[in-house]
A and B are shown apart, each in its own frame.
Chain A
Amino acid sequence: EDQVTQSPEALRLQEGESSSLNCSYTVSGLRGLFWYRQDPGKGPEFLFTLYSAGEEKEKERLKATLTKKESFLHITAPKPEDSATYLCAVQAGGSQGNLIFGKGTKLSVKP
């Protein structure tokens, strides 16, 4: 069964304290792995798509990496405005574009 597990469920950081969020997946033929950011009461905002193991993408303080079993979202020197829930999703081979989502990691960055 295709599955996505994110850890930790919640993460509290001090401003400037770098860390990583984990997304482990089990999927039959990965077509793509997606990271989204979701602010409270809003829809998810697309961040990155990763397609193959070894791939990396960066955007400001965020860097996403991918291996054959997991993806990491590295946050370097976070700021309070980075506080949000980060969602990971995968698209399996043979799917009609449907995504399987993890439950998310809620990140809080304190000044």
Chain B
Amino acid sequence: DGGITQSPKYLFRKEGQNVTLSCEQNLNHDAMYWYRQDPGQGLRLIYYSQIVNDFQKGDIAEGYSVSREKKESFPLTGTSAQKNPTAFYLCASSNSGTGVNIQYFGAGTRLSVL
């Protein structure tokens, strides 16, 4: 089945620890995105990538980093500098280009900082 796989589903970390969230897609999409969702808030864009080996900061990139070494993979790392990391993290992918491209989402990772 084609889709987007996020892992783990739940993640717990201690304050000061880095953590990496995995996102893999087999939809052959060029573009991938990371969002953060907090209760009562809309989805906020953290990072996005339109092509392999290239990515741009979104609205709330501070304290996060990404890499895009393969088309299928777009891991997100939360560093110890990131404030209030407890949230629901969503990865999405889409075709790229100048048209209107539908974003498809994974099931999410819920990160809790202890």
A and B: interacting chains = yes
Report the minimal beta-carbon distance from A87 to chain B, rounded to whole angstroms.
7
Chain A residues with Cβ below 8 Å from B6 are 43
Question: Is B106's beta carbon under 8 Å from chain A?
Answer: yes
Chain A binding surface SS class: strand
Q: Is the beta-carbon distance between B104 and A46 smaller than 8 angstroms?
A: yes
Q: Is the beta-carbon distance between B100 and A49 smaller than 8 angstroms?
A: yes
Q: Is the beta-carbon distance between A46 and B102 smaller than 8 angstroms?
A: yes
In the complex, the chain A residue whose C-beta lies closest to that of B99 is A31
Other than A87-B42, A96-B50, give 16 A-B pairs with Cβ distance below 8 A. Answer: A34-B103, A36-B105, A41-B108, A43-B105, A44-B105, A46-B104, A96-B48, A97-B31, A97-B96, A97-B97, A99-B45, A99-B103, A101-B42, A101-B44, A103-B40, A104-B42
Q: Is the beta-carbon distance between A43 and B90 smaller than 8 angstroms?
A: yes
User: Number of contacting residues on B, CB 8 A?
Assistant: 30
- 16 CB contacts below 8 A, A to B, read A36-B105, A43-B4, A43-B107, A49-B102, A87-B42, A91-B100, A96-B50, A96-B56, A96-B96, A97-B48, A97-B97, A98-B45, A99-B45, A101-B42, A101-B44, A103-B41
What's the Cα separation between A87 and B45 when bound, in Å? 15
